[in-house]
Amino acid sequence: MTNANKGGRAVALAVWLLAAAVVMLAFSRRWLPALASDHGAGVDRMLHFTMLTAGILIVVCHGALGYMLWRFGGRERAGFRPVSERSQRRWSLAAAVFMALVAEGGVLAVGLPVWAQYFGSSAPANALTIEVTAEQFAWNVRYAGPDGVFGRTDPKFYTLDNPVGVDPADPRGRDDIVALNVLHAVAGRPVRIRLRAKDVVHSFFLPNFRVKQDAVPGMTIEFWFTPTREGRFELACAQLCGFGHYEMKGILIVQSPEEFRKWFEEQSRG
Amino acid sequence: MAEPGFVRRYLFSLDHKVIGIQYLVLSMFMALCGGAFMVLMRMNLAWPGVKWPLLGALFPHAMQSGIMKPEFYLSLVTMHGTVMIFFVISLALASGIANFIIPLQIGARDMAFPVLNMLSFWTVVPACIVLLSSFAVDGGAPAAGWTAYPPLSAVRTAVPGSLWGQTLWIVAMALFIISFTMGGINFITTILEERAQGMSLFRMPLTIWSYLISSALGLMAFPALFAAVVLLLCDRHFGTSFYLPSGLFFGKKLLPNTGGTPLLWQHLFWFLGHPEVYVLAMPAWGIVLDLFPVFTRRPVFGYRINVYCFYAIAVLSLMVWGHHMYVSGMSPYAGELFSLATLAITIPSAVLGVNMLASLWGGAIRFRLPMMFAIGSLVMFGSGGFGGMFLGNATSDIQLHDTYFVVGHFHLMIGGVTLLATFAALHYWYPRMFGRMMDETLGRIHFWLTFPVFYLIFVLMHFDGLAGMPRRYYSWEKYDFLAGVRGHQVWISLLAFLLGAAQLLFVYNFFHSIRKGRPAEPNPWDATTLEWQPETSQVYRWPYDYSVPGAATDFTPQNTK
Ligand code: HEM
Ligand SMILES: [Cu+2]
Ligand SMILES: [Cu+2]
């Protein structure tokens, strides 16, 4: 019997130590990238709620498991008292109710309102619209220009000089501003992204903004968010799109209204 | 009748025990391949762009002058994922162990359809060969990920691996699905039709329940993937446009396709992909729930409730595939529904977890190797499940989707839970397979190099994912926001090499003990189930009669009146 228990306490200790490692890692640094968007605070609230509840559950469950291994390891005989059907049902019910509250409750109370704000609402009228057309392995960026209207596009006009296929016959497209891999936006002003893709599925991921959206060929997907502070932020591709996937980097420059206007006018003139 | 010769006995055998072991050996070979791909990947992630002259000689094309090409990295990711899920865990747990143990535990002579059984094994062998040979074709192995999203996988110039490798991937998947379907039909029929006298459904061990329900689940889910790969093949080679919309632009050329949508594939793929996780995890839970009573000498906690949980999870798992697509461009309202459905699955899962824990209460726990691995599997299940609360929730998934959080999470679930349960099962049934015990000391070293190391690797990946580290990246050198977590890669890789090396110990132990292991007693674990009771034709009780008050021994086999 002693032989059978060999290593039992070690397993209990290991279970406790692993839980301790999770907790230590969690507190060892700020893991989330510094926040820079409005709805992102809601996403972070959801993340923190889940971190807290899952964290507590991890500690409690590892603690309980380790305790049982420690206490019941290598006993000569098992306890005789059978567990009644009723108490089995009770425990299961307790687990079910608890999980329903934590998981479904979290979604309903903390998660879905943010989700609805992010996806379910249309952008405010003052939003800046940026069209982003992903291709292997770059982000084509287009602004509507001074007239505020995008020119018509058609894939048949794709060339190296016309990467988003603006129709040359459409006068509204003449003033459109087209750029590569660099987006400009204004702090405090909502941004509406019109996301498209030319070849394969890509994903528009702004880690600091809690923004991620796949760019799907054949679809134009619109969503919006509001940058809350100025700075240069990285844009990464989050959907496998080919051998250059890891290099498909863009930059989002969030500026003050004056700086943005200056940049915009320069581009329109150019 | 004459004794069957070597070929009949060991190659084209109709005996479910031999076929089960064939599956296990094949899965071990594939695990070595999948592990080797992992080692190459981890070398590059820890030391990106470094020269490995020896590997340059081995792969003159993919690692020209010793430096790994990005497209080769993607081939490795794809092959590692495909091999590990479909050709390691599926083969070992859902085919190999199932084949071996189902007839024995229900007191059947053999499978209901022995020839079909042999055929299903010999269909999966060519699948392995076809898949592995993709390294040798023009363009190399498939590189679109194990999820193979089109257009990347459908347009042959989209990535080198899509030239020919992806076609071989499709053929391999089709063969695999055919084989898996034959196996599933066989398991279900055998369990429903071939049970011994008195073995009513609610006297079956939970292992058998889990195989019954997970096989049914597989039969419902896999046809979607079969249809999906056939359509993908047509798009690739016969000019159809199931997944290809108009306006696709590759290599300065507009493609003629029109009318398809890439999202169709994602729906079809995940309609299989999510249930597949449960096809693999459920047997692991069944085995863990069955091993706990043996090594605590107590009945399992909540037997019937666990069966109902299996049912609930199987049904729900067919309705949650959309949680892989929250940010895919699918309707956000669908996202809300899929969130609620997904988190509904955590409820029966939590009940299972609590019942596993409660099964230990009041026991006389014996820390033999099967038990240790079963405990490890439970730990992975708990931690992996809590990670699922983040990803099932659409709101937090916005940030975590396609980051290393996902990689960490699914490795704990379909890697950890299933792998450790497989080890538990192999240690446990080894004496029934070969009449000998596996070496205990080697086994313990293997356990201690596997369980905590595996856990740490993938827990670290969760945190890298919180920091936003995208998956399927060849390197993260370009991104400043990841500067703080890039340094972890060396640690993760070193741990991964240790973990990989430890698995060789297991393989050695497995084969070495066939001849050199300590001879086993007929019922080495004092268990109640039929595989340890020779020549049973009548069953009188459920399988969990441990420590029954007044009984002569602390276990009462199922065939005792
Ligand atoms: C031995 C320890 C293992 C290590 C260190 C490991 C490591 C990795 C790494 C680094 C990736 C690539 C992530 C990326 O670039 O996105 C990966 C992907 C993957 N691994 Fe593992 N792995 C291990 C075992 C397993 C096992 C046992 C399974 C069984 C299910 C598995 C299934 C997968 C899958 C499905 C993928 C995704 C492939 C894809 O993105 O297409 N791995 N693994
Ligand atoms: Cu990409
Ligand atoms: Cu899923």
Which ligand 1 atom sits closest to the C-alpha of B473? Answer: 15
Residue with tokens 């007044």: B550
Tokens of B266: 């994602």
Half-sphere exposure of A141 (CA within 13 A, CB side): 20
> What pLDDT sits at residue A5?
63
Among chain A residues, the shortest Cα distance to B70 is held by A243
- Secondary structure (DSSP) of A184-233: EEETTS-EEEEEEESSS-EEEEEGGGTEEEEE-TT--EEEEE-B-S-EEE
Predicted local confidence at residue B131, as pLDDT: 98
Chain A interface mutation, best of B396, B474, B485, B491, highest count of A Cβ atoms under 10 Å: B396
| Interface contact A64-B260, CB threshold 8 A | no
B210 DSSP 8-state letter? H
Q: Is the CB of B378 inside 8 Å of chain A's CB atoms?
A: yes
The conformation of residue A245, written as its DSSP 8-state character, comes to G
Rounded mean pLDDT of A224-242? Answer: 96
Instruction: Please tell me if residue A168 touches chain B, with a CB cutoff of 8 Å.
Output: no
pLDDT digits (tens, 9 = 90+) for B29-47: 999 999 999 999 999 999 9
Q: Which two tokens stand for residue A16?
A: 């406790």
On average, the pLDDT of chain B sits at: 94
Q: Hey, how many other C-beta atoms are within 10 angstroms of the C-beta on A5?
A: 17
- The ligand minimizing its distance to the Cα of B470 is 1
Burial class (CB in 10 A: 0-12, 13-18, 19+), B126: middle
**pLDDT tens-place string over residues B228-255:** 999 999 999 999 999 999 999 998 899 9
Query: Looking at CA atoms only, how far is residue B546 from chain A in angstroms?
Result: 9
Q: CB contact, 8 Å: A232 with chain B?
A: no
Q: For ligand 1, is residue B425 a contact (CB within 6 Å)?
A: no
Secondary structure in 3-state letters for B378-415: HHHHHHHHHHHHHHHCHHHHHHHCCEHHHHHHHHHHHH
Phi, psi at B257, each rounded to 5°: -65, 155
The shortest C-alpha distance from B424 to chain A (Å) reads: 15
pLDDT confidence tier of residue B2, bands split at 50, 70 and 90: low
Confidence label for B1 from pLDDT (cuts 50, 70 and 90): very low
With H, G, I as helix, E, B as strand and everything else as coil, classify residue B550.
Answer: coil
Residues 6+ positions from A125 with CB-CB distance below 8 Å: none
Q: What percent of chain A has pLDDT over 70?
A: 97
Determine phi and psi for A256, rounding to 5 degrees: -75, 160
The pLDDT score that the predictor gives to residue B53 is 85
- Spatial CA neighbour of B49 closest among B474, B464, B491, B487: B474
Q: Which amino acid is at A69?
A: L
Q: What is the pLDDT of residue A127?
A: 94
| Measured distance CA(B351)–CA(A78) in Å, rounded | 23
Sequence-distant (6+) residues with CB within 8 A of B225 are B173, B177, B268, B269, B271, B272, B273
Q: State the Cα–Cα distance between residues B425 and B285, nearest whole angstrom.
A: 11
Tell me what pLDDT residue B268 has.
96
Ligand nearest to the CA of B142: 1
Long-range contacts of B475-482 (CB under 8 A, 24+ apart): B475/A246, B475/B44, B475/B45, B475/B48, B475/B49, B476/A246, B477/B48, B477/B49, B478/A246, B478/A247, B478/A249, B479/A234, B479/A236, B479/A249, B480/A234, B481/A33, B481/A207, B481/A208, B481/A234
Tell me which residue of B464, B546, B507, B532 sits closest to B92, measured CA to CA.
B507
What SS3 class is residue A139?
strand
Most B CBs within 10 Å, among A18, A27, A92, A157, to test the B interface: A92
Is B127 within 8 Å of B134 (Cβ atoms)?
no
**Using the beta-carbon criterion (under 8 Å), do A91 and B355 form an inter-chain contact?**
yes
Confidence at residue B137, expressed as pLDDT on a 0 to 100 scale:
94
The C-alpha atoms of residue A219 and residue B304 are separated, in whole angstroms, by 48
- The pTM (predicted TM-score) of the whole model is 0.95
Structure tokens at B329: 């461009």
Q: Which atom of ligand 1 is nearest to the CA of B419?
A: 27
Searching chain B, which residue's CA lies closest to the CA of residue A85? B302
pLDDT band at A110 (very low <50, low <70, confident <90, very high): confident
Nearest-by-Cβ selection for B459 from A21, A74, A221: A21
Average pLDDT over residues B102-120: 95
Q: Does B547 touch chain A (CB under 8 A)?
A: yes
Q: Could you state, in order of their start, the residue ranges of all structural domains in chain A?
A: 3-75+84-118, 128-269
pLDDT band at A4 (very low <50, low <70, confident <90, very high): low
Whole-angstrom distance, CA of residue B123 vs CA of residue B119: 6
Report chain A residues whose CB lies below 8 A from the CB of B549: 80
8 Å CB contact of A96 and B478: no
Confidence of residue B440 (pLDDT cuts 50, 70, 90): very high
Q: Does ligand 1 come within 6 angstroms of the Cβ of B409? A: no
Q: Which ligand is nearest to the CA of B313?
A: 3
Sorted by sequence, the CB contacts under 8 Å of residue B303 that are 6+ apart come out as: B202, B206, B542, B544
Q: Which residues keep their CB under 5 angstroms from ion ligand 3?
A: B 274
The residue type found at B546 is Y
Q: Each residue of B335-390: pLDDT tens digit?
A: 889 999 998 999 999 999 999 999 999 889 999 999 999 999 999 999 999 898 99
Asked if B527 contacts B554 with a C-beta cutoff of 8 angstroms, the reply is no
Closest by CA position to B394, among listed B462, B337, B348: B337
- pLDDT of the residue at A1: 40
Q: Which are the contacts of A161, defined by CB distance < 8 A and separation ≥ 6?
A: none
Which string of b and e fits B407-444 if b means at least 16 CB within 10 Å? Answer: bbbbbbbbbbbbbbbbbbbbbbbbbbbbebbbbbebbb
What band does A2 get if pLDDT is binned at 50, 70 and 90? Answer: very low
The pLDDT assigned to B8 comes to 79
- Cα(B36)–Cα(B43) distance, rounded to whole angstroms? 11
Mean pLDDT of B182-207: 96
d(CA A209, CA A144): 23
* Pocket flag, ligand 1, residue B415 (CB < 6 Å): yes
Ligand nearest to the CA of B473: 1
Q: Any idea which of A100-104, A145-149, A195-199, B509-513 has the lowest mean pLDDT?
A: A100-104
Residue B333 has pLDDT above 60, yes or no: yes
Residue linked to tokens 């490692």? A21
Does B135 touch chain A if contact means CB atoms closer than 8 Å?
A: no
Instruction: Tell me which fold the domain A128-269 belongs to.
Output: Immunoglobulin-like (2.60.40)
Q: Quick one: average pLDDT of A147-164?
A: 92
**Of B328, B348, B396, Cβ closest to residue A46:** B396
Kindly report, residue by residue over B489-535, the tens digit of the pLDDT.
999 999 999 999 999 999 999 999 999 999 999 999 999 999 999 87
Which pLDDT score is estimated for A75? 81
CA torsion through residues B540, B542, B543, B546, sign: negative
By CA distance, what is B445's nearest residue in A? A7
Q: Which atom of ligand 1 is nearest to the CA of B73?
A: 15
B187 with B217: CB under 8 angstroms?
A: no
Question: Quick one: which ligand is closest to A137's CA?
Answer: 2
Cβ contact A91–B358 (<8 Å): yes
Helices marked H in A78-144 — which ranges?
Answer: 85-99, 105, 112-115
> Domains along chain B?
14-245+257-532 (1.20.210.10)
A97 is written with which tokens? Answer: 């109710």
Q: What is the mean pLDDT of residues B479-491?
A: 92
Asked if A86 reaches chain B (Cβ–Cβ under 8 Å), the answer is no
Residue to mutate, B27, B44, B68, B77, ligand 1, most ligand atoms under 8 Å from C-beta: B77
Ligand 1 pocket, residue B412 CB under 6 Å: no
* A56 pLDDT higher than 60: yes
Say if ligand 1 is within 6 A of residue B489 CB.
Answer: no
Q: Which residues contact A28 (CB under 8 A, 6 or more apart)?
A: none
A58 in reach of chain B (CB within 8 A): yes
Bridge partners, residue A37, by sequence = A227
Q: Is A99 on the interface with B (CB under 8 A)?
A: yes
Q: A122: pLDDT confidence band, cut at 50, 70 and 90?
A: confident
Q: Which two tokens stand for residue A254?
A: 């969030």
Is the Cβ atom of B81 under 6 angstroms away from ligand 1?
Answer: yes
Bridge-based pairing of strands A191-197 and A128-135 is parallel
Chain centroid to CA A56: 23
Q: Is the CB of B144 under 6 A from ligand 1?
A: no
Q: Which residues contact B273 (CB under 8 A, 6 or more apart)?
A: B147, B225, B321, B324
User: CB distance A238–B470 less than 8 Å?
Assistant: yes
Complex-level ipTM: 0.95
Contacts 24+ apart (CB under 8 A), A22-28: A22/A55, A22/A58, A22/B383, A22/B459, A23/A55, A23/A58, A23/A59, A25/B459, A25/B460, A25/B463, A26/A51, A26/A55, A26/B463
Compute the distance from residue B34 Cα to the ligand 1 centre, in Å.
9
Chain A residues touching B350 at Cβ < 8 A: 95-96, 98-99
In this complex, the residue of B328, B363, B451 whose CB is nearest that of residue A78 is: B363
